[in-house]
Amino acid sequence: MGLLRIMMPPKLQLLAVVAFAVAMLFLENQIQKLEESRSKLERAIARHEVREIEQRHTMDGPRQDVALDEEDDMVIIYNRVPKTASTSFTNIAYDLCAKNKYHVLHINTTKNNPVMSLQDQVRFVKNITSWKEMKPGFYHGHISYLDFAKFGVKKKPIYINVIRDPIERLVSYYYFLRFGDDYRPGLRRRKQGDKKTFDECVAEGGSDCAPEKLWLQIPFFCGHSSECWNVGSRWAMDQAKYNLINEYFLVGVTEELEDFIMLLEAALPRFFRGAAELYRTGKKSHLRKTTEKKLPTKQTIAKLQQSDIWKMENEFYEFALEQFQFIRAHAVREKDGDLYILAQNFFYEKIYPKSN
């Protein structure tokens, strides 16, 4: 028995195509509305949680007029660069905050825009410095460096960060936009449905894998000046290096994240006591992994490395790595393949005048 083939008139075919297109647009619109509703709900929940904390502090007694001791007055800002293991590290802060008695707050900017408006910069600086109910506080979010000194702040927050090999970071971000990760596998991603590999994208000269997309870690450290976001700016790289040395307490690298955490615990135990052990033994050590990620070929890597933008981002990465390894070399000792934090190796003597 042969197959019955029904021929559809051209007009009906056209109507069917149009109907299908309209249906897809409708579904896309509904998905967008759901995502916006979810975002609004998250913000409402966050505001409710903040109010609860403030009410709890009020019930415990007024705190505004009480001077905080130095450790309780501490604020850390982790202006996390996307796809540098930032979620894995941030979850350690969340796991430790109740035990170590500090607050963790996520800085959620609209569309993940890392540059704040001038008025938002003022609001943010005011929040960070005067919001005593949230101190000690650990703030994290995808925002570029902000110089608190230019707002007249005397006690600046402590900046920390982690960076990654620039090509590895871009590859991870490329696949993340298409396939997501194992942290929220059901969430629809911006480039979902695009099956093109990173190698294919580079070979075809695609925009999502263009060398310009490497320009991210430098502007994150450079800050809110317009020149910071001028792709390939030598001034921006020099400023990023200056800030890394002078404005950041510690900058680690994704490839040596455990050592970064160990150094933070030794230097800032008020926040990170227990962090190294939690990272080594906890289930959340490598919580977020990009799905469907395929390593690029040597040819792809070589092509990207011809770019001046890669050379600058890689120079910055190597600069940060050298600084981190220098700090680590003076803070730990190695024994049987393991690293141990050095004990205090300075003391005071010849103290005058002598007490009676």
Among left, alpha and beta (phi > 0; psi -120 to 50; other), residue 349 is beta
User: What dihedral angle (degrees, nearest 10) is formed by the CA atoms of 15, 21, 27, 28?
Assistant: -160
The answer to whether 221 touches 322, Cβ cutoff 8 Å, is no
Instruction: Choose, from 142, 224, 286, 330, the residue flagged as catalytic.
Output: 142
What DSSP character marks residue 290? Answer: B
What DSSP character marks residue 123? Answer: H
142 is an active site residue: yes
The answer to whether 296 touches 199, Cβ cutoff 8 Å, is yes
- Strands 338-341 and 332-335 come out as antiparallel
Ordered DSSP codes for 48-60: HHHHHHHHHHHHH
- Position 325, amino acid: Q
- φ, ψ (nearest 5 deg) of residue 263: -65, -40
What DSSP character marks residue 112? Answer: G
The answer to whether 239 touches 225, Cβ cutoff 8 Å, is yes
Task: Tell me the C-alpha to C-alpha distance, in Å, between residue 142 and each of 49, 77, 137, 273, 321.
Answer: 21, 11, 17, 25, 21
Instruction: Choose, from 48, 57, 106, 140, the residue flagged as catalytic.
Output: 140
Q: Look at residue 187 and give its three-state secondary structure.
A: coil
CA angle 297, 303, 307 (to 5 degrees): 140
As annotated, the active-site residues are 140, 142
